[in-house]
Chains A and B, each alone.
Chain A
Amino acid sequence: MDLSQKENKTGHINGINEFYVEVEGFSGPLDLLCSLIESREIDVKKISVSTFVKIYSNFLYNTERASISAISDFITAAAAIVLGKVTALVPVRRKTEEESENEDDVEKELLISEEKLVEMLERYRPYRYASFYLEQLKGNSDLCVKRSLTEDTPLFDLGDLYGIASIWWKYYETLINNGSSKNDPQMFRMDGIPFAIPEEKQVENRMAELEEITEEHEETDLRSILGDSPDISILVVTLLALLEMARLGRIKVIQERLFGNVRIVRNSNAE
């Protein structure tokens, strides 16, 4: 460090002699001060910010070197000192033991436990072997070449409405003859796959399931209702059902802390 002190030009400011400090690697005295504060070599609580601002603004004014760049540096440095001081002066709220434990619980929940990871790998491993086995089977089977399909001519020409209608009619007859679709045609698509149950119906069904659970247990929680690995759609339907039941006053939904488990308590006052 190269320190140099110059003679006082303007006399005293609030009883303190004006002096210049030039330090290598620092753009000015406040920059150095910030660095010392950050490295905790100077306690920010003991610094009078107003005095320093006064000294430095006078220094800039009297030296006639107050370029825009110098002023912006000054504002940045002063802001850093003020922020440091505010942080140092405002008392830090100590976390209670319970809060610390809760945070630990959340972290534990986010991390997959070693046992669970081992369990997952154990379950996955045979299927990995099975995939290797299938690969071998396919390799052997690929060596046997079967007759390939030649491209058939289309069953109807463009504009051949009779041809299209015939195919459609045949398809419709197949559908009608299908026993499962005959029972409830509204529940099945043309390819025989049932439609998804409407969301409102799913919520109603879920509410009925939850009613049964709350009748059996006066208090339960969301985690036990959802099980180990809930599907997102199940979670959404369950939450909607719980909200509706809470709105109807059948249950109380309580979450005591953020991201904590949700307690579901049967409302004994409900009819």
Chain B
Amino acid sequence: MSELSEIATLNENQRVLEAILFISCDPVDVRDLVALLGMRSQEIEKNFQSLQAFYANCHHGLTIRKVAGGWQMTTVNDLADILESYNDDIRRRKIRLSRAALECLAITAYNQPVTRSEIEDIRGVRSERVIDTLLSHGLLRIAGRAKGTGSPLLYRTTDKFLELFGLNAVSDLPTMDELEALSGSDCNGRDGTED
């Protein structure tokens, strides 16, 4: 990391990657660049990491982050207020998720592939409409049907889900035990007030 932090200028490959990130709306998958740049994926990955360190050390208005298995250029988080004031569209673009929607996403993320009845079984309430909303937002996708009687639809989270929550993979989520520990400091207050 110390080597990465010493980068003062970008090499030719890093400049290309920077330009690709600049024009891309969705996270850039390294595999899509292998043929284009004639480089091995590990090499491209390393260049992205260097680029990420370069932006982090330059006190830049932009940052490079790894989400949904790809690389993405975004603005830094401390400029959010001023950017929202400058452009109303940024606020409008945000997806608002209800508690029910967040619970459905959490259950799906930790148990995928999962059926609707399994989600409802854990939540204890009907969740058909919430699932439909999440499907329409592209945060859940249908991932086939469960074998056996009734052959219900199976649901999985999408790359858009990972992107929305700033995750690189579902495995980045804390384990259930870690959540229990985190809940002691962060969630207890809200848990108590909402119940």
Nearest chain B CB to A203's CB is how many angstroms away?
A: 9
Q: Does B46 contact A (CB under 8 A)?
A: no
Knowing A126-B176, A205-B149, the reply to whether A132 touches B73 (Cβ < 8 A) is: no
Q: Are A137 and B166 in contact (CB under 8 A)?
A: yes
Chain A positions 63 through 104: 1 when the CB is less than 8 Å from some CB of chain B, otherwise 0: 000000000000000000000000000000000000000000
What is the CA–CA distance of A135 and B187 in the complex, to the nearest angstrom?
11
B interface footprint on A203-229 (CB within 8 Å = 1, 0 otherwise): 001100100000000000000000001
The listed residue (B83, B99, B150) touching A231 by CB distance below 8 A is B150
Select the residue from A123, A129, A196 with max chain B CB neighbours within 10 A. A129
Interface residue total, chain A, C-beta cutoff 8 A: 40
Which B residue's beta carbon lies closest to that of A149? B25
CB neighbours of B24 from chain A (8 A): 147
Residue of A nearest to B78 (CB): A143
B117 within 8 A of A: yes
Give the complex CA separation of A233 and B117 in angstroms.
11
* Interface core residue of B90, B99, B149 (most chain A CB under 10 Å): B149
Q: State whether A193 touches B180 (Cβ < 8 A).
A: no
User: What 0/1 readout, one digit per residue, does chain A (125-152) give for beta carbons within 8 Å of chain B?
Assistant: 0111111111111101111111111000
Question: Which residues 20-68 in A have Cβ within 8 Å of B in the complex?
Answer: none
Measured CB to CB, the nearest residue on chain A to B21 is A147
Contact A145 B179 (CB under 8 A): no
| Interface residue from B80, B97, B150, B183 paired with A129 (Cβ < 8 Å) | B183
B117/A146 in contact, CB under 8 A: no
Q: Report the minimal beta-carbon distance from A51 to chain B, rounded to whole angstroms.
A: 61
Contact of B89 among A127, A140, A148, A206 (CB under 8 A): A148
What residues of chain B lie closer than 8 Å to A147, measured between beta carbons? 22-25, 73
* Candidates B65, B78, B103, B145; contact of A131 at CB < 8 Å: B103
CA distance A126 to B179 in the complex (A): 7
Q: B10: which A residues are within 8 A, CB to CB?
A: none
Binding site for A on B (CB under 8 A): 22-25, 63, 65, 72-78, 80, 83, 89-90, 93-94, 97, 99, 102-103, 105-107, 109-110, 117, 121-124, 142, 144-145, 149-153, 164-167, 173-174, 176, 179-180, 182-183, 186-187, 190-191
Q: How far is it, in angstroms, between the C-alpha of A88 and the C-alpha of B180 when the chains are bound?
A: 63
CB neighbours of A197 from chain B (8 A)? 151
Residue in B65, B142, B180, B182 whose CB lies within 8 Å of A144: B65
- Residue ID in chain B nearest A193 by CB atoms: B142
User: Contact: A129 with B187, CB < 8 Å?
Assistant: yes
In the complex, the answer to whether B145 meets A128 with C-beta atoms within 8 Å is: no
Chain A residues whose CB sits within 8 angstroms of the CB of B122 once the complex forms? 123-124, 127
When C-beta atoms are compared, the residue in chain A nearest to B143 turns out to be: A193
Q: Complex Cα distance A240/B153, Å?
A: 22
- Residue in B106, B145, B167, B190 whose beta carbon sits within 8 Å of that of A130 in the complex: B106
A129 to B124, CA, bound (A): 16
Docked complex Cα distance between A197 and B150 (Å): 8
Q: Are A131 and B174 in contact (CB under 8 A)?
A: no
Q: How far is the CA of A208 from the CA of B20 in the complex (A)?
A: 57
